[in-house]
Amino acid sequence: MKNYLALSILCVASVAGAQQQAGGREAFLRQQAYAEMQRVTSQVDTLQSNFDDLQRRVSQVERGSNTRTLQAEIDALKATVAELRRELANQRGEIVKDLSGRLAKMLPPAPPSPRPTQKVVVSGPTSTYTVVSGDSLYLVASAFNTTVAKLRELNGLKNDNLRIGQKLIVPAN
């Protein structure tokens, strides 16, 4: 249990430390998260201590005589242990949920995934042309004595749209 909490605290601390943005808000959130983790750790330690104590008591009673009174005590202790286990499991779930939410707020958004590039096999000598204002695929094809279809193929274009500053592979003259 303590290893689990230590790992959780380390996770929060490493994420907080890995943040590139520094400022009052981030420092406040880290401080708040640390204080909350200390509070939760204290509660879990108390539960664990109670749990260990009850298990010790059950073992002592089981080693004693087998009277009905002792059996009733054993059953009551076992019920308490089971309740503590449920409470501990609930607290673990709450800790995980809370940490997940806090980590999600602290982490920067994931960068968009790169677009897949299409490999184009170019045969023959080529050069690069930079699109300027007023260019169209037809005008560029005419200037380099080729076809619009060939330019689309060389550059992996799906349509005839061009952007100013776009680099095009064109057949060398």
Residue appearing with tokens 């420092």: 27
Beta-bridge mates of residue 130: 167
The pTM of the full predicted model, rounded to 2 decimals, is 0.33
Mean pLDDT, rounded, for 17-34: 66
In the chain, the percentage of residues whose pLDDT exceeds 90 is 10
| Rounded Cα–Cα distance for residues 109 and 113 (Å) | 12
For domain 126-171, the CATH class is: alpha beta
For residue 155, give every residue at least 6 positions away whose Cβ sits within 8 Å of its Cβ, in sequence order, or none.
120, 168, 169
- Retrieve residue 44's tokens: 């879990």
Distance from C-alpha of 36 to C-alpha of 41, rounded to nearest angstrom: 8
Q: Which residue ranges make up each domain of the chain?
A: 2-106, 126-171
Look at residue 21 and tell me whether its pLDDT is greater than 50: no
Q: Sorting pLDDT into bands at 50, 70 and 90, what band is 131?
A: very high
The predicted-structure confidence for 40-69, as pLDDT tens digits, reads as follows 888 888 888 888 888 887 777 667 655 677
Q: How far is CA 79 from CA 46, 73, 75, 86, 89, in A?
A: 18, 10, 6, 11, 15
Q: Could you tell me the pLDDT band of residue 7, with boundaries at 50, 70 and 90? A: low
Residue 139: how many other CB atoms lie within 10 Å = 13
Query: Strands 126-130 and 167-171: what pairing?
Result: antiparallel
pLDDT of the residue at 41: 82
Instruction: Please give the pLDDT value at position 106.
Output: 76
Q: Quickly state the pLDDT bin for 89 (edges 50, 70, 90).
A: confident
